[in-house]
Homo-oligomer: A and B are copies of this chain.
Amino acid sequence: MKIALDAMGGDSGPDVAVHGALAAVRTLDGLKVILVGPEELLHERLKALAKGDAAALARVFVHPASEIITMQDVPVDAIRRKKDATVVVGFDLVKTGKADAVVSAGNSGASMAAAVKKLGRLPGISRPGIASFFPTLKKPVMVMDIGANVDCRAQHLFQFAIMACSCSSLLLQHKQPRVGLLSIGKETGKGNALVKETYPLLQNSPLNFIGNVEGRDVYRGDVDVVVCDGFIGNILLKTSEGLADAALMMIRDELLKSWRAKLGYLLMRGALSRFKKKVDYAEYGGAPLLGINGTGIICHGSSDANALRNAIAVAADMAHHNINAAIVRHLSESAAEQVSIA
């Protein structure tokens, strides 16, 4: 298994990518990583950071790419102008069979655009999307779409459900993932026009549809897949990040108000940082691009080496389980069922 890693995508430069690649090959059996970026620089950083670990160095490769797409670049425009950009070259490695998957912590719109351009859509999929795991009190829940598609039709949400279920059931060993439709009340008939149109499609499908779920249900862990359009999903994701950060700051402020609490804080600092890690979605291995004819994972721009290592692990897992074959199979099964109902 060979995973291409966009070495210039993240906010903190290539060292994080090199550390991530080294961590991946050291902890994941039989895996190889291809760092995509400026050849000379990456060889130099690799040599410096591997500290003579020949076994690891033997499993990390460098593939040249001379251009970088920044967070400010307009995605579709950027991938057209910068044909030798790291993320474009990464997806080309998948297209040509030189890599099994790509991981990038760069501009997520550009990653999606490069994926669609180089690999195309899976047969029958009208809109690929981005899925992401959210932490809960129980198992992580997969939410789709978290930002690729802002104005959706019911059929798109229906396909998000199929794709996320295929992915979640293989990665988290759910037999029949429970699918919820994000809405503003549990009762059938609650929601906006899009939700009301999507509801019967999910209900008449072979999916294990449990009905509408509310915002507060996302973190309870009683649903495995939550379906929504990319506008809502993105706001859900970013609100959660913002609240988690604000909550930790408010707790810290409260703790520094008395010596008792200050002492308490010192004693429990480790536990608080474990909590922060738990709500940090980077820990869950990034966000899979689903619906493209290949495997790609995007990560937060601020991902550290461990987050990249986790994303590489998930990318390898997705390619290993052939999630795309499962998506295509489930899509055709549900289409057959829809025809037989009609």
A135 to nearest B CB, angstroms? 8
Closest to A189 in B: B74
Knowing A251-B272, A267-B264, A270-B261, say if A219 contacts B245 (CB, 8 Å). yes
Q: C-beta contact mask, A235-260 vs B, less than 8 Å → 1, else 0?
A: 11111111111110111001101101
Are A220 and B246 in contact, with the CB atoms below 8 A? Answer: yes
Return 8 A-B CB contacts under 8 Å, by A number. Answer: A215-B236, A216-B245, A219-B242, A236-B239, A239-B240, A254-B268, A258-B270, A258-B271
Q: CB distance A214 to B238 under 8 Å?
A: yes
Chain B CB within 8 A of A341 CB: no
- Give the contact stretch, choosing among A9-17, A50-58, A273-281, A289-297: A273-281
Give A230 to B193 CA distance when docked, in angstroms: 13
A182 at the interface (CB under 8 A from B): yes
Is residue A137 contacting chain B, with contact meaning CB distance below 8 A?
yes
Task: Give A contacts to B, CB under 8 Å.
Answer: 135-137, 147, 150-151, 182-184, 191-193, 195, 214-220, 229-232, 234-247, 249-251, 254-255, 257-258, 260-261, 263-268, 270-272, 274-275, 278-279
Cβ B242 vs Cβ A217 within 8 A: yes
Q: Is the CB of B258 within 8 A of A264?
A: no
Contact in complex: A231, B264 (CB < 8 Å):
no
Closest B residue, CB atoms, query A269: B264
Known contacts A219-B243, A254-B275; 7 additional CB pairs below 8 A are A151-B193, A215-B238, A215-B242, A220-B246, A255-B268, A255-B271, A260-B270
B192 touches A215 (CB 8 A): no
Is the beta-carbon distance between B271 and A261 smaller than 8 angstroms? yes
Q: Which residues of B contact A261 (CB under 8 A)?
A: 267-268, 270-271
Chain B residues, Cβ within 8 Å of A239: 215-216, 218-219, 236, 239-240
**Chain B hits for A137, CB < 8 A:** 246, 249-250
- The residues of B that contact A182 with a CB separation of less than 8 Å are 235
Most buried by B among A193, A258, A264, A279: A264
Q: Is B235 touching A215 in the complex (CB atoms < 8 A)?
A: yes
Question: By the criterion CB–CB under 8 Å, are B251 and A192 in contact?
Answer: no
Give bound CA distance, A131 to B229, whole Å: 24
- Chain B residues positioned under 8 Å from A219 (CB to CB): 239, 242-243, 245-246
Contacts of A191 in B (CB 8 A): 150, 231
Which chain B positions have C-beta within 8 A of A250? 135, 137, 275, 278-279
> CB-nearest residue of chain B relative to A149?
B192
Q: How many angstroms from the CA of A147 to the CA of B214 in the assembled complex? A: 12
Contacts of A147 in B (CB 8 A): 184
